[in-house]
Chain A
Amino acid sequence: MNHVPALFGFDLLSPSMLGWLAAAIAPLLIHLWSRRRYQEAPWAAMRYLLAAMKAARRRTRFEQWLLLLVRTAIIATVVLAAAEPYLELGTVPFVPGVRTHRLLVIDGSYSMGFRPGETSRFEAAKELAARIVDESDQGDGFSLVLMADPARAVVDEPSLDPADFIAELQALRLAHTGADLAGAAACVERLLANTARRNPKLARQEVYLLSDLGRVSWDPQRLGQKAAEQIQRSFAKITQMAPLTLIDLGQDDAGNLAVTSAAAAQTFAVRGRNIEIRGELRNFSRSPASARVQLLADGHRAAEETVNLDPGGQAAVSFSHRFETPGNHVLEIAAPGDRLEIDNHRWIALAVRPAVRVLCVNGQPSGPKGSATDYLATALAPAGDGMSAAGIQPEVVAESALVETDLGRYDCVFLVNVAQFTRGEGLVLDNYLKSGGGVVFFLGDRVLPEQYNQILGGMAPGAFDILPARLQPAPVEKRQMLNPLEYRHPIVEVFRGQERAGLLATPVEKHFPLEVPAESASQVVLALDDGTPLVVERPVHRGRVILVGTSADTAWTPMPLLPSYVPIIQEILAYAVAQRQQRRNVLVGESIGAVLTRFQGNGLITIKTPDGRSETAPLDAAGGVAGWNFASTDPSGIYMAFHGGDAETPEIFAVNVDPKESDLAKLSETELRRGVLADVPFQLHGDGHRLATQHAGVTTRSGGLAKPLLYLLLGLLLLETYLARRFGHHAP
């Protein structure tokens, strides 16, 4: 139920001034005092004076009381005006006469883009904010905070020019993020304190917060107890410095249908091969919904599907599409048509390759059981024609070629039974990881564990911290079965419920025990029966490293001969190369970027944003690679990065909104007063959207009673003058 603002309210800004009402008895005291202080004079015409007193006694008394009443009322009126009374008539209070700093906080989360009518909540908030400014007095100052994520002060120093401020307000853009209530509260606290310190002439401060009061941002349960307590403390401090007025722009019955996820099922896409695109939709309204879901490939409709959703329900959609040309492509799942447009689309940036090139560095070109990479290469491209059906193209080189090879041409590097690494090789791998590549280590009897730990485990000075785990000094020879650890890791998740794939029946006869450092980002993918980690992975720089504690051939495990080998290798590859794809698909506010091994141009990357702006990001070159980073990923949509001018094919990045904000459920006033604003004095004006869209009577300048009181005072003074003259209390 909407909060209905009180039709009439009366309050005082300086109630302490009412103490001066005692001064209202001053005229009476003066009257009594003056009767005690008199002059004496002889008088001859006394009989006429006595007669006059007798005749005029009643009238004189009435006149004296009337004058006393008027004079008392004059003082009372002055005192009341000094107490700064104000009325509220369903809108915000105003206090004329005092220079005021009005700090406007506008919720910039994308749920404010919801359109209950012709205008969105955000436009309504701007309209109301502009009216607050319009109706303020000359000399008042204004600050503006956008409560997006992160919250930021758009106008931090109080602006004394309403026209400039309104121009700034009109230029304000809805963020495609959630709302950082804690950040906004901290920002407001800081601005109020700064203004009190630097602008003492702005004797009074007021805070207006215009928000849809969405549960996502305001509900203590979603915020977490600690954050909610922090917010409550901030608002308590704020209200010690300035009265807080909340204007609710939310609607209880606001429904919304959102595309909550979109992703390619494969972590890499190859020219001419189908890729599966999976999406998810959610109905956030209380009534069933139906939507036509489209797949757009490079802006062209590629497929369409109708889905029906129950109230609060979810639905999955799946499309298949193939790109015939390599390069950067864009896929979009769209379900347009509801009142919140922002979350009706999700984009996928996809780099379609001619093939997935995998470099297999063979540390054991020949041995009793053949080359160490034979099984691996076969598992990567089972068809035997050098390229798998999935488009994987393995290439085997000797370990000596590692330094000379341009790793930038490969999507993933498998290092198989490589005995040791020089610092130069370590640098090559480190740079490769910086560029987002995937590195997979298979061990074997040639491996020198101490040397691995020194050069790649970061134990030697100036070495590289690449390995997700440390190798124990000696391999353990003990036959054990694999423990999938409840298939928690994405690499083995595919085996869940696929017992016949034989993962559990895969023995490992010899392995290097792996020690996972505490508090590292490493995750154990597979373990052995005794719990010893066998496969460990962790993200390194922009890429990912997977360390397998056993051999890639049959020297230490018969796995290559078992059915589980090919899928596990394929999954390891997919997971290792997924990082590059993931870097292309981020949420609003997350940074996009890339590491370039070859680059031209002026050291600046030009980025074209979805709203048509052109931004630049500097290239940061170090150690033979150059990286760039761009953090201003708001709004959502497709970002294109040009490394060397417009003629070049741009890198494409998809930036999508966090679907949490799609839930438009709002907090009630009671919940608000029990939640983050518990024990915080504030005024809540409900149905702010109606306030903004109705043009008559809603923002009537209602507040200040000082001016009417001054008129009353003027009237009383004129009345006193007239009465005093009329009653003969003035000189003729």
Chain B
Amino acid sequence: MEPSRKYLQPEVLARLEGLPLRARLIVEGYVSGVHRSPFHGFSIEFAEHREYAPGDDLRYVDWKVFGRTDKFYLKQYEEETNLVCNLLLDTSQSMLYQGPASPMSKLEYAKCVAAALGYLVLHQQDSVGLATFDSEVRGLARPSSNPSQLNQVLHLLEEAAAEHKTDTGPIFHALAERFRKRGIVIVLSDLFDDVSSMLTGLKHFRHRRHEVVLFHILDPAELDFPFRQVTMFEGLEQLPKVLVDPPALRKAYLREFHDYLRQLKQGCRMHHIDYVAMRTDQTFDVALSSYLASRRGWLRT
């Protein structure tokens, strides 16, 4: 493994402080592993040529045409503006959960993913925005391709604290109304909410012709329920305490949880939402690959 790729491992990254560093290391680690650079050349589609005028960016001069005609022509692209990527980060209390075998909490993991995506998006000359939410929108950075946007996004991420319960449906509706420009909406959440309400909210994004990618961030303990001892589980987000003999209840719990996952995936499929399951012990490249795949899909439409 190349040294830089080790930073794709959550347990390695967990030992490092600071989101900017984490974001850079994730992206560089990811880039070093792919053959084709994600930063240049494929984000803008050629449309026509126009004659050069002083002040134009020399990077866009078509030198082949100059060689044939001795005239300077610039390549004209179909859309001058970059892709808009809106990151929606769930900062509800449930995101604070960190299982016994996990290197970081779901919120930390989601922040790393969001920071890395922001870093990647901005380096692709695209615009990135960020909204943090629980039952309300707690922080918002409007989309921008300005290089200083990264600092704003990262600052907002670092400031985000999990203190309230979640209520995704109304939030998604409200944000869908705000995001007027078509783009990619990336949701980072554990999605512990009512599935139908949540899907209705996500459907609203689709209605606005956004490409929606759902990063479903879960702790391994939530997926496996590995507890052996009798445990008093204290519910996050104002849910009650319950005393449970985990081995006796494991099967039933897993059945309920997989039912929920099945409903969620089915809804996502139905509404053409990209569903990406992520475990907090999983490498980050899955998130970046999923984003890039979605971006390509967005550009094709």
Interface residues, chain A, with chain B CB atoms under 8 Å away: 34-35, 37-53, 55-56, 59-60, 63-64, 727-732
Contacts and interface: CB of A to CB of B under 8 A. Distances in A.
Interface in B231-263: 231-237, 239-240, 242-245, 247-253, 255-257, 260
A56 B252 contact: yes
B91 to A, nearest CB: 13
Contact of B255 (A37, A44, A52, A60): A52
Contacts of B257: 45, 48
A49 B221 CA distance: 12
Contacts of A59: 252
Across chains A and B, which 10 residue pairs bring their CB atoms closest together, nearest first? A46-B235, A56-B252, A44-B97, A52-B252, A44-B94, A43-B233, A46-B239, A52-B253, A38-B230, A48-B256
A101 to B, nearest CB: 50
Nearest to B249: A52
B190 interface: yes
B229 interface: yes
B42 interface: no
14 contacts: A35-B245, A41-B227, A42-B96, A44-B222, A45-B94, A45-B192, A46-B233, A46-B240, A52-B253, A53-B244, A60-B248, A64-B245, A728-B247, A729-B247
Contacts of B93: 44
A48 B253 contact: yes
Interface in B271-291: none
Nearest to B248: A60
Contacts of B94: 44-45
Contacts of A38: 229-232, 243
Contact of B249 (A34, A45, A49): A49
A278 B243 CA distance: 104
**Residue from A44, A56, A60, A727 having most chain B Cβ neighbours under 10 A:** A44
A49 B248 contact: no
A60 B250 CA distance: 11
Nearest to A730: B247
A44 B192 contact: yes
B222 A50 contact: no
A727 B249 CA distance: 9
A44 B257 CA distance: 12
A46 B245 CA distance: 14
A728 B251 contact: yes
B207 interface: no
B269 interface: no
A50 B236 CA distance: 13
Nearest to A725: B247
Contacts of A731: 228, 247
Nearest to A60: B248
A59 B248 CA distance: 10
B167 interface: no
B219 interface: yes
Contacts of A41: 227, 231-234
B239 A50 contact: yes
Contacts of B243: 35, 38
A48 to B, nearest CB: 4
Query: Which of B96, B233, B245 counts the most A-chain CB atoms under 10 A from its CB?
Result: B233
A39 B232 contact: yes
Contacts of A44: 93-97, 106, 190, 192, 219, 222, 236-237
Q: Is the interface of B mostly helix, strand, loop or mixed?
A: mixed
A40 B235 CA distance: 11
Nearest to A727: B248
A35 B232 CA distance: 10
A40 B252 contact: no
Given A43-B234, A48-B253, A52-B253, A728 B229 contact: no
Interface residues of B, number: 38
Nearest to B219: A44
A46 B95 CA distance: 13
B192 A34 contact: no
A49 B244 contact: yes
B268 to A, nearest CB: 18
Which of B237, B242, B244 lies at the interface centre, i.e. has the most chain A CB atoms within 10 A of its CB? B244
Contacts of B236: 42-44, 46
A42 B222 contact: no
A56 B250 CA distance: 10
A722 to B, nearest CB: 14
Interface in B56-97: 93-97
B248 A37 contact: no
Given A38-B243, A42-B236, 4 more contacts: A41-B233, A45-B222, A48-B256, A56-B252
Contacts of A64: 245, 248
Contacts of B260: 48
Contacts of A728: 247-251
Given A46-B236, A48-B257, A50-B239, A39 B249 contact: no
Contacts of A729: 247-248
A49 B251 CA distance: 11
Nearest to B218: A45
Nearest to B232: A40
Given A44-B94, A44-B97, A729-B248, A49 B233 contact: yes
B187 to A, nearest CB: 17
B23 to A, nearest CB: 25
A50 B242 contact: yes
B97 A56 contact: no
Contacts of A732: 250
Contacts of B253: 48-49, 52
Nearest to B235: A46
A37 B192 CA distance: 30
B90 to A, nearest CB: 11
A37 B242 contact: no
A49 B227 CA distance: 13
Interface string B85-114: 000000001111100000000100000000
B251 A42 contact: no
B235 A43 contact: yes
Contacts of A45: 94, 192, 222, 257
A55 B254 CA distance: 12
Contacts of B232: 38-41
A41 B231 CA distance: 7
A43 B248 contact: no
Contacts of B219: 44
A51 B96 CA distance: 22
B242 A49 contact: yes
B256 A51 contact: yes
Given A37-B230, A42-B234, A43-B233, A55 B256 contact: yes
Nearest to A42: B234
Nearest to B229: A39
A64 B192 CA distance: 30
Contacts of A42: 96-97, 233-234, 236
Contacts of A50: 235, 239-240, 242
Interface string B8-36: 00000000000000000000000000000
Given A46-B239, A47-B192, A40 B234 contact: yes
Given A37-B230, A40-B234, A46-B236, A53 B192 contact: no
A689 B232 CA distance: 72
Contacts of B95: 44
B227 A63 contact: no
A730 B94 CA distance: 28
A35 B252 CA distance: 20
Contact of A52 (B97, B228, B235, B256): B256
A39 B235 CA distance: 14
Contacts of B228: 731
B230 A35 contact: yes
A496 B233 CA distance: 117
A56 B219 CA distance: 24
Nearest to A45: B222
Of the listed residues B234, B242, B249, the one surrounded by the most CB atoms of chain A closer than 10 A to its CB is B249
Interface string B198-240: 0000000000000000000001001000011111111111011
A46 B193 CA distance: 11
